[in-house]
Amino acid sequence: MSPRKRPLVPVSSRRKTADDFFPFNLLPVECQLHVFSFLNEVDKCSCALVCLSWSCIIRSWKLWRVADYSRRGVFHLGQEGLLVSNREFERWKSWVHHYTHHLISRRASLLTLKASFDLGDRCNKWGELLSHLLDNVHCRDLSHLDLNWSFTLLEPLDLRIHSSSSSHRDSITKMDQLNSFQELLTKLTHRCPRIAKMRLHFDWSDVSVSLLTQFQHLRVLELKYFWVFKGVTPSTLQTLTKSLPNLKSLTLHILVPMRNLGISYTLESQSLEYLDVSPSRGLVFSRLKLPALRELQAKKIVRSITLDRRTRLRIQSRWPCLYHVLREGTPKLQALNNERLLPTWREESYGELTAILEQSCYCVQHLDSWLW
């Protein structure tokens, strides 16, 4: 038996009455802003084309709280410095400038800034673009900064089109990058003093450390290495952590140069609760004073450096076992390398932690071979 067919209904009777529509425009403006705040930037622009009232609401500075210059690179799987065609690079560069103009014209009040630009690029002048943005938007309440200032998200395949007398790449030096970064960091200290979460490459110079310690509201900090040949002195690292009274989470990417083998570090902080040094290489702690630390991530990374037995023992003899360092300086430690620690781990021998210590401790007892 064939199913019963639904009778045809005239078009006029199928039209919804005015009462069937949700009266969105009758809501208070603050409620409408709250609803629109859940949309991404593309959807906001689409909504601005619906009607005049929506267009006026979308222009509100309250809806433009995020400046994400990495959004167009999602289809590149987050790669930095990816070579693309000249035409694609020019199209992306045009989008960057239009996006900046859009944020300024909307009088954006930024809470988040994400960008990946080579600040040493004299041709495209990305540093001036970011400085222009900070000068023309409200960023006093900026709380999240994610900045890669050593690589541009996309690079043109033929770099020669961006050079006149010399090649484009030759005009980009480490000093250009460093000077532009310090200029931008100085501006951030004045324009955005309330940053609470920061993720950026860091050069560990005295000037940069002094500027970074001015962000007294920092709670989450991740510092990546800027130059593999730049070492970090123990006093510099200790000064940084002691100068940030509200720091809760710290992630360090430090590569200890060959000439500094044997150096150990001291870390002090009254507020630090999470410490991740697993991305670092050759970072050894001789003393920790972290009374609030609850979780630690530490890992030895192979560096393919083979030393003779005498040299190895001479260097290793300077370092205490990580177990003793933790037992003396981290009274509230609860997890090590994602492993939950028993409450009595300080009173007992580290037999139960042997497997973890072999992966993270550089002392003689836990380093069978010298392969860094």
- Which of the four pLDDT bands, split at 50, 70 and 90, describes residue 347? confident
| CA–CA dist 12, 17 (Å, integer) | 10
The confidence score (pLDDT) of residue 110 equals 92
Q: Which amino acid is at 69?
A: Y
Q: Is the pLDDT of residue 75 over 80?
A: no
Bridge partners (DSSP) listed for residue 331 = none
Asked whether the beta carbons of 89 and 155 are under 8 A apart, the reply is yes
| Token code pair at residue 296 | 């630690």
Which pTM was predicted? 0.80
Give the rounded percent of residues in the chain with a pLDDT score beyond 70: 76
Bigger pLDDT: 317 vs 43: 43
| CA–CA dist 274, 75 (Å, integer) | 32
Highest mean pLDDT among 48-57, 74-83, 143-152: 143-152
Among the listed residues 110, 120, 128, the one whose alpha carbon sits nearest the alpha carbon of residue 68 = 110
Q: Is the pLDDT of residue 114 over 80?
A: yes
Pairing of strands 335-336, 339-340: antiparallel
The confidence score (pLDDT) of residue 341 equals 86
Three-class DSSP labels, the chain: CCCCCCCCCCHHHHCCCHHHCCCHHHCCHHHHHHHHCCCCHHHHHHHCCCCHHHHHHHCCHHHCCEEECCHHHHHHCCCCCEEECHHHHHHHHHHHHHHHHHHHHCCCECCEEEEECCCCCCCCCHHHHHHHHHHHCECCCCCEEEEECCCCCEEECCHHHHCCCCCCHHHCCHHHHHHHHHHHHHHHHHHCCCCCEEEEEECCCHHHHHHHCCCCCCCEEEEEECCCCCCCCHHHHHHHHHCCCCCCEEEECCECCHHHCCCCEEEECCCCCEEECCCCECCCEEEEECCCCCEEECCCCCCCCCCCHHHHHHHHCCCCCHHHHHHHHCCCCCEECCEECCCCCCCCCHHHHHHHHHHHCCCHHHCCCCCC
- Which of the four pLDDT bands, split at 50, 70 and 90, describes residue 355? confident
Residue range 161-168: mean pLDDT, rounded: 45
Residue range 72-82: mean pLDDT, rounded: 51
Give the chain's mean pLDDT. Answer: 81
The confidence score (pLDDT) of residue 161 equals 47
Bigger pLDDT: 42 vs 161: 42
Residue range 307-325: mean pLDDT, rounded: 71
Taking only the tens place, the pLDDT of each residue in 9-51 is: 454 555 555 455 567 778 888 888 888 888 877 777 788 888 8
Three-class DSSP labels, 260-294: HCCCCEEEECCCCCEEECCCCECCCEEEEECCCCC
Q: Which amino acid is at 368?
A: D
| CA–CA dist 292, 273 (Å, integer) | 5
Q: Is the pLDDT of residue 78 over 50?
A: no
The confidence score (pLDDT) of residue 47 equals 82
Taking only the tens place, the pLDDT of each residue in 194-237 is: 999 999 999 999 999 999 999 999 999 999 988 766 778 889 99
The confidence score (pLDDT) of residue 173 equals 76
Q: Is the pLDDT of residue 307 over 90?
A: no
